[in-house]
Structure 1
Amino acid sequence: MTVIDGEAADPITGAEVVVADGRFSAIRPASDAPPEDGPVIDARGGYLVPGLWESHTHLSGFAYTKPENERAQYISQLLTDFLDTGVTRVVNLGGPLDTELAARAYRDQATDAAAGLFFAGPVFTGIGGWPTMGDPERAAIAYQTDNADVAYRQALELADQVDFIKCIYDGEPGAPDKLPFDALKAIAAAAHEKGKKVLMHVHQRADLEDAVAAGADGIEHAFHPQDPGSTAEARDVAALLAETNTYYCPTLVTWEQFARNGDAAYLQELVDDGIATPEDIPRITARPGYGRLFPRHSAEESRVRFDYAMRTLALMHDAGVKITAGSDVAILIPTPPLALLRELQLLAKAGLPLPAVLAAATRHSAEKIGQQATAPGTITVGSVADALLLDADPYADITHLTNRSHHIGTLRAGRPSWSEGGPAA
């Protein structure tokens, strides 16, 4: 078996991996001698990579249409679906706290295997800001504030119940629906005081620069450039993010879907790229949101953000920016887990080297929310035994990682999904 540990090291060929108590306890040259105890799973001919991370999604949003008493179970099923797609950890970027706590409690009692869940709870935004849009029914998904002291106290209290904190810093400067800069700084200070990371959703370059100045650990979404024809803004942003060690989650597939909603050629492209099947297309076109404009971002703006990110992401990587993989939405993708696989395809199409694509979907995503000590997204001694077994080298072709026909199975906290009789080659 070949082990790709997710660190900077070269792949380890002819390896044997030992798991004990749900963690990797040894990674060593394979031996013909039988183990001292425990079952043996034959993975000869396979490629073992860290389990994938979805670092930006909205499970509670996908569950919103379900009756309230069914949402926790529905989220649990989504986590099972993610695991079936090679994703062992899912990061939920905002939703009602009671729903997310209920989903975690449900998973704590469940006996089936599923991806692990990390969540932010309600996001912080301005008065009537995104994503509440002044709708009282959406109030539970956000703290709406224009006061730094209030925001600080709310963030301190929330940090004790969530895994990290998220802010929405989007809108015209000084407008009521935009979180004030002093409140943004106060929230970040509260999060860090509690040992939690803070992620910030931005729109333009100025928002991104303010977010970094306020103490953001991660920037969510590719920014909208002032001059799409120049890469100068991207170079400046790359230098800032690299210098401050701030993670960057571009959510390319978000902008691709918003830009091409209603485009039949796009759906065919998803089929050609192995993300959708012909049978998926009528189900996608029957969705209520198909062909409809997204309420916050026009198709034109989304196209600009997508095209600019695709042109400049490689230079950001070259500058040392730590990129993470997240999909955000799945309005045109058959399922939320497949949206992450599409994001990985897009990262590769944007020119990221394949080891960097894997790092974006594993180690960097764990680091972004401060989980590198407990769930580092690597195959290293002492780390949680989360992994994906492939039948072909993911460093040779991105489809070996994103096409599920190459997925043999997952290892979740040491629990394999494939039988002991395979997959020897």
Structure 2
Amino acid sequence: MRIHNVTVIDGTDADPLAGAEVAVTGGRFSAVRPAGSIDRAVDDGPVIDGRGGYLVPGLWESHTHLTGQATLRPEGERLGVVSRQLADFLAVGVTSVVDLGGPLDLELGVREFRAKATDPAAELFFAGPVFTGIQGWPVMDSAERASLAYQTDNADEAYRQALALADQVDFLKCIYDGEPDAPDKLPFDALKAVIAAAHEKGKKVLVHVHHRTELVEAVEAGADGIEHAFLPDEPSSTAEAVDVAALLADTGTYFCPTLVTWEQLARNGEDAYLQELVDDGFATAAGAVQVAARPFYGRAFPRHSAEESRIRFDYAMETLALTHEAGVKIVAGSDIALLLPSPPPALLRELWLLAKAGLPLPAVLAAATRHAAGKIGEGAGAGTITVGAVADALLLDADPLSDITHLVDRSHHVGTLRRGQPSWS
């Protein structure tokens, strides 16, 4: 198959290639060249018109919790619920979804379910249960959440569990959040043990942090990625961000700030915020009414106060540009859709916020493509339109490097390419 009449923005640092043809063979990109130069002996399939648009790599949602949320539904509905959400993600240009913690049996079940399904949907990558302290987040005192985590205060036990889990999942995740030496905080030696075990198996480890100290310790332990913008000790100074950026850049550690998480937790209960989401195109008026009717609308989140969340959001928005300028690999992930109609728009909102925080638009695209793939250890070329990469892409009718709305406003989405199958005719 060939796609012609298209400008390719391949997700690397290369300049856009106007008037390009893209060949797909066996569900992977086999050539990306100027029009008329593709070897017809290699690519003799149908020709698809790119409509003069812009072909970018398929987007990645690199931090969400579909399977964990599905446990709130009756058991017989869970596979179907997650499968439909993966289809909804594909409908907004997201071809890969990274689930950062859920019941292993459900995640494995979703993968098996999707392998037999015939409808198109985003691909799911998952961590299985997270590692946390005794009654640590997200379990706390809820027996219903026990399947979401391995609770441990023992490094040897954590190491054995991580070795076994690594054979069944795509990457591992640790929650490193809590007061020092408190029972609900994963001990530092257990954190190191999980990372050592995962690395022995060739798997990456992502670490959820709260304060700057936890971020620094997680990097020291060998974390491959840091999840969430940290709570600074001195919000009025950028000095902590400068130090953290240097550390992350020097170690090559990925950073997923989840800006939209802190925005939602900071403004939960504000009708003005819902109207802002409507005005910005991330919700409809009817959707905002439905959000306001949710039981948790306006209620305090159990782990992070609105005040703390606002500090984390404001600080991240102020310092993210300097973090990028330091050379940090920033990744796009939304985590929650507390005040968004559904999870897919939350990722689009995150991209909009990254641009608003001052990231250049090529960096925003990289955050939602190649950096997201790299964070979980996908091979070279993943999240790009390059020879050998999985043929996942999003076709737009306007240049996403000139205006962020061209990427996040669905009216500019022509269709998706999922493993070489186009959704447009």
What TM-score comes out, normalization by structure 1 length?
0.97
1:273-284 maps to which residues of 2 (within 5 A)?
273-284=280-291
Q: Once the two structures are superposed, what CA deviation does each residue of 1:401-422 show, in whole Å capped at 9, x if it has no partner?
A: 0000000000000000001xxx
Deviation at 1:44, TM superposition (A): 3.2
Deviation at 1:70, TM superposition (A): 1.4
The size of the alignment, in residue pairs, is: 418
1:191-206 maps to which residues of 2 (within 5 A)?
191-206=198-213
Among residues 398, 403, 406, which one is paired with 1:400 in the alignment? 406
Deviation at 1:376, TM superposition (A): 0.5
Q: Does 1:133 align with 2:124?
A: no
Deviation at 1:34, TM superposition (A): 11
Match of 1:240 in 2: 247
CA distance in 2, matches of 1:275, 1:382: 34
Runs of 4+ in 1 over 2 A off after TM superposition: 31-37
Q: Does 1:28 align with 2:28?
A: no
Question: Secondary structure of the residue that 2:277 maps to in structure 1?
Answer: helix
Match of 1:423 in 2: none
CA distance in 1, matches of 2:61, 2:299: 26
CA distance in 1, matches of 2:142, 2:116: 34
Q: Is the 8 A contact 1:363 1:372 kept in 2?
A: no
Q: Once the two structures are superposed, what CA deviation does each residue of 1:130-167 show, in whole Å capped at 9, x if it has no partner?
A: 00012222111000000000000000000001000000
Question: Secondary structure of the residue that 2:208 maps to in structure 1?
Answer: strand
CA distance in 2, matches of 1:344, 1:208: 23
Identity over aligned residues, as a percent? Answer: 74
Q: Does 1:177 align with 2:211?
A: no
CA distance in 2, matches of 1:304, 1:415: 44
Among residues 154, 159, 162, which one is paired with 2:166 in the alignment? 159
Match of 2:19 in 1: 14
AA at the equivalent of 1:234: A
CA distance in 1, matches of 2:134, 2:421: 46
Question: Secondary structure of the residue that 1:388 maps to in structure 2?
Answer: strand
Which 10-residue stretch deviates more, 272-281 or 7-16?
272-281
Q: Is the 8 A contact 1:258 1:302 kept in 2?
A: yes
Q: Does 1:57 align with 2:64?
A: yes
Match of 1:216 in 2: 223
Question: Secondary structure of the residue that 1:88 maps to in structure 2?
Answer: strand
Deviation at 1:35, TM superposition (A): 5.4
CA distance in 2, matches of 1:356, 1:34: 32
CA distance in 2, matches of 1:279, 1:45: 34
Match of 2:388 in 1: 382
Which 10-residue stretch deviates more, 294-303 or 279-288?
279-288
Q: Is the 8 A contact 2:68 2:103 kept in 1?
A: no
Q: Once the two structures are superposed, what CA deviation does each residue of 1:375-413 show, in whole Å capped at 9, x if it has no partner?
A: 700000111100000000000000000000000000000
Q: Compared with structure 1, are the counterparts of its residues 240 and 33 closer, same or farther at alpha carbon in structure 2 (3 Å cutoff)? A: closer
Q: Is the 8 A contact 2:68 2:148 kept in 1?
A: no
CA distance in 2, matches of 1:128, 1:64: 18
Q: Does 1:227 align with 2:218?
A: no
Deviation at 1:276, TM superposition (A): 0.7
Deviation at 1:268, TM superposition (A): 1.0
Q: Is the 8 A contact 1:221 1:249 kept in 2?
A: yes
Match of 1:371 in 2: 378
Among residues 116, 122, 125, which one is paired with 1:118 in the alignment? 125
Q: Once the two structures are superposed, what CA deviation does each residue of 1:319-351 show, in whole Å capped at 9, x if it has no partner?
A: 000000000000101110000000000000000
Q: Name the structure where strand makes up a greater proportion of residues.
A: 2
Q: Does 1:411 align with 2:425?
A: no
Question: Secondary structure of the residue that 2:56 maps to in structure 1?
Answer: strand
Q: Is the 8 A contact 1:52 1:362 kept in 2?
A: yes
Q: Compared with structure 1, are the counterparts of its residues 86 and 33 closer, same or farther at alpha carbon in structure 2 (3 Å cutoff)? A: closer
Question: Secondary structure of the residue that 1:178 maps to in structure 2?
Answer: coil
CA distance in 2, matches of 1:369, 1:34: 34
CA distance in 2, matches of 1:277, 1:200: 34
Which 10-residue stretch deviates more, 274-283 or 77-86?
274-283
Q: Once the two structures are superposed, what CA deviation does each residue of 1:26-80 show, in whole Å capped at 9, x if it has no partner?
A: 1111139995621111113100000000000000133122111211111111000
Q: Is the 8 A contact 1:345 1:402 kept in 2?
A: yes
Match of 2:157 in 1: 150
The unaligned stretches of length 5 or more in structure 1 are 420-425
Q: Once the two structures are superposed, what CA deviation does each residue of 1:236-285 show, in whole Å capped at 9, x if it has no partner?
A: 00000000000000000000000000101111111111111112111111
Q: Once the two structures are superposed, what CA deviation does each residue of 1:66-102 show, in whole Å capped at 9, x if it has no partner?
A: 1112111111110000000100000000011011111
Q: Compared with structure 1, are the counterparts of its residues 32 and 242 closer, same or farther at alpha carbon in structure 2 (3 Å cutoff)? A: closer
Match of 2:313 in 1: 306
CA distance in 1, matches of 2:7, 2:279: 29
Q: Once the two structures are superposed, what CA deviation does each residue of 1:181-211 show, in whole Å capped at 9, x if it has no partner?
A: 0000000000000000000000000000010
Among residues 182, 193, 203, which one is paired with 1:186 in the alignment? 193
Question: Secondary structure of the residue that 1:41 maps to in structure 2?
Answer: strand
Q: Is the 8 A contact 2:21 2:38 kept in 1?
A: no
Question: Secondary structure of the residue that 1:46 maps to in structure 2?
Answer: strand
Q: Is the 8 A contact 2:10 2:385 kept in 1?
A: yes
Which 10-residue stretch deviates more, 96-105 or 29-38?
29-38
Q: Is the 8 A contact 1:342 1:402 kept in 2?
A: yes
Q: Is the 8 A contact 1:19 1:25 kept in 2?
A: yes
Among residues 275, 284, 293, which one is paired with 1:286 in the alignment? 293
